[in-house]
Amino acid sequence: MTTQKPTPDTPENRRKDGRPPDGGVLDTMKRPLRDLRVSVTDRCNFRCQYCMPKEVFGRDYEFLKRGEILTFEEITRLARIFAAGGVKKIRLTGGEPTLRRDLPTLIEMLKGIEGIEDLTLTTNGSLLADMAGDLKAAGLDRVTVSLDSLNDAVFRKMNDVEFPVQRVLDGIQAAAEAGLTPIKVNMVVKKGVNDGDVLEMARQFRGTGHIVRFIEYMDVGNSNGWRTDDVVAAKAIVAAIGAEFALEPLDRQYDGEVANRWGYKDGAGEIGVIASVTRPFCGDCTRARLSADGHLYTCLFAVVGHDLRKLVRGDKSDEEIAEFLDALWSRRNDRYSELRTSQTKGDDGKVEMSYIGG
């Protein structure tokens, strides 16, 4: 499903109340809120080193208790308020979202919200072969699958639970057959670990209609041991693929799109590169993230979350919650990736990616 490009936020298109033409408010950098990422669980069945390493998320790690997690009704209520404020796209994340019991029921509830044009899911694909049909029937538009290598030994090492790559490929196939397309395949590239598999990934999905997005290894959270030496620059990734298949840059499909798009010149599809480290895109970031326990984060690299669960479980009306969100977004000044220098070095309070879904 192609996301409809919003009305340009120009002076002539501004509403009489000064708000953006598609609703909501602008932050301090004139960025609207258009994308909401909702974590439905903090649990995952993988232990990827760059996200949930076993050394931190071991057997004794205390995940959220059931009563701490937002109910489907609470998620839907908040999503409806966000949609009234201009959000057009909702992405369900985790942890691993397919571990949340009765997930299709939540999708059915969210699908009926007026104003939501794109309802998507990011998954590690481990349960997708069994669930794809039910997710589509419930109203899910499409999926993004995380897959860091096609080499089974490398993939098992990266997920650190001995999960075979073929089962993820089976899930991608099932999603395609169910119509959850276009499918995006996300590959986090880490130097010395899986950077040698970039070309194989491009070859695998070239001509299939699926879009591989190569992601620079980022310093999300505190537990992944991130170093700049581990980053493979997007420029190098494009060069490696372009040496075998001629590429040409493609225009962005919508404001706030995070991936730089490259098309195969012979028409065999496209790839994307997400270069948060070497080419930050804070300037038009339109995303907010809601954790499984109802805390809102206005940046992937945030330190502080804002407790919406307290509001929905209290006596606050929808209008009062909307006013809180407007005030919060209007003060937003996040631009971590653009400042990723000595100014951010040593930050150790950033929220973990597994908690807010990346």
Classify residue 129: in a domain, yes or no. Answer: yes
Classify residue 3: in a domain, yes or no. Answer: no
Backbone angles phi, psi at 214, to 5 degrees: -90, 125
User: Using omega within 30 degrees of 0 as the cis cutoff, is the peptide bond preceding 11 cis?
Assistant: no
Structure tokens at 117: 């044009």
Classify residue 4: in a domain, yes or no. Answer: no
The pTM score is 0.89
Contact 237, 214 (CB under 8 A): yes
Classify residue 5: in a domain, yes or no. Answer: no
Classify residue 135: in a domain, yes or no. Answer: yes
Name the domain count of the chain: 1
Strand extents, DSSP E, the chain: 35-39, 89-93, 118-123, 142-146, 184-189, 211-216, 247-249, 260-264, 270-274, 287-290, 295-297, 306-307
Classify residue 9: in a domain, yes or no. Answer: no
In this structure, what CATH number is given to the domain that contains residue 134? 3.20.20.70
Task: Residue 312: give the domain boundaries.
Answer: 28-356
Render each residue's pLDDT in the chain as its tens digit; 358 residues: 334 444 555 544 444 545 677 778 999 999 999 999 999 999 999 999 888 889 989 999 999 999 999 999 999 999 999 999 999 999 999 999 999 999 999 999 999 999 999 999 999 999 999 999 999 999 999 999 999 999 999 999 999 999 999 999 999 999 999 999 999 999 999 999 999 999 999 999 999 999 999 999 876 555 555 567 788 999 999 999 999 999 999 999 888 788 999 999 999 999 999 988 877 768 789 999 999 999 999 988 777 899 999 999 999 999 999 999 999 999 999 776 656 544 444 445 666 767 777 6
Give the Å distances, CA to CA, from 338 to 173, 189, 300, 301, 333: 37, 20, 13, 12, 12
pLDDT at 230: 83
Residues paired with residue 188 on neighbouring β-strands, in sequence order:
215
Classify residue 280: in a domain, yes or no. Answer: yes
CA distance 100 to 194: 29
What type of residue is 150? L
Classify residue 1: in a domain, yes or no. Answer: no
Q: How far is CA 172 from the centre of its chain?
A: 17
